[in-house]
């Protein structure tokens, strides 16, 4: 996401529940929930949407939390 944004890292189960809840409520995503870098170092689930004030928010999760800052 090439714009300034706020980010939150969640446990995978919480991320999945949030993604399901947001989809069910019809939230418009900037980037739909998906897994990036599948099978690679740093694999992560991510989604972007904007809050009511227009701030870009990223929520992500790692199956392996030790990968948060992996390159």
CATH code (residue 37): 3.10.180.10
pLDDT (0 to 100) of residue 9:
94
How many whole angstroms separate alpha carbon 26 and alpha carbon 48?
14
DSSP β-ladder status, 29-36 and 44-50: antiparallel
Q: Give the model's pLDDT for residue 20.
A: 97
The reported pLDDT for the residue numbered 2 is 61
Residue 71 lies in a domain: no
Q: Give the pLDDT score at 30.
A: 93
Nearest to 49 by CA among 63, 31, 61: 31
Report the domain count for the chain.
1
Model pLDDT for residues 26-44, shown as the tens digit of each residue: 999 999 999 988 888 888 9
Across the chain, what does the average pLDDT equal? 89
Does any domain span residue 38? yes
Domain hosting 37: range is 6-65
The list of the chain residues with pLDDT below 70 reads 1-2, 70-71
Locate tokens 């599948």: which residue? 38
């Amino acid at each position: 996401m090439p714009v300034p944004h706020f980010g939150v890292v969640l446990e995978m189960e919480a991320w999945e529940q949030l993604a399901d809840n947001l989809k069910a409520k019809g939230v418009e995503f900037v980037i739909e929930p998906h897994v990036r870098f599948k099978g690679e170092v740093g694999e992560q689930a991510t989604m972007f949407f904007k809050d009511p004030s227009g701030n870009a928010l990223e929520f992500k999760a790692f199956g392996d939390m030790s990968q948060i800052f992996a390159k």
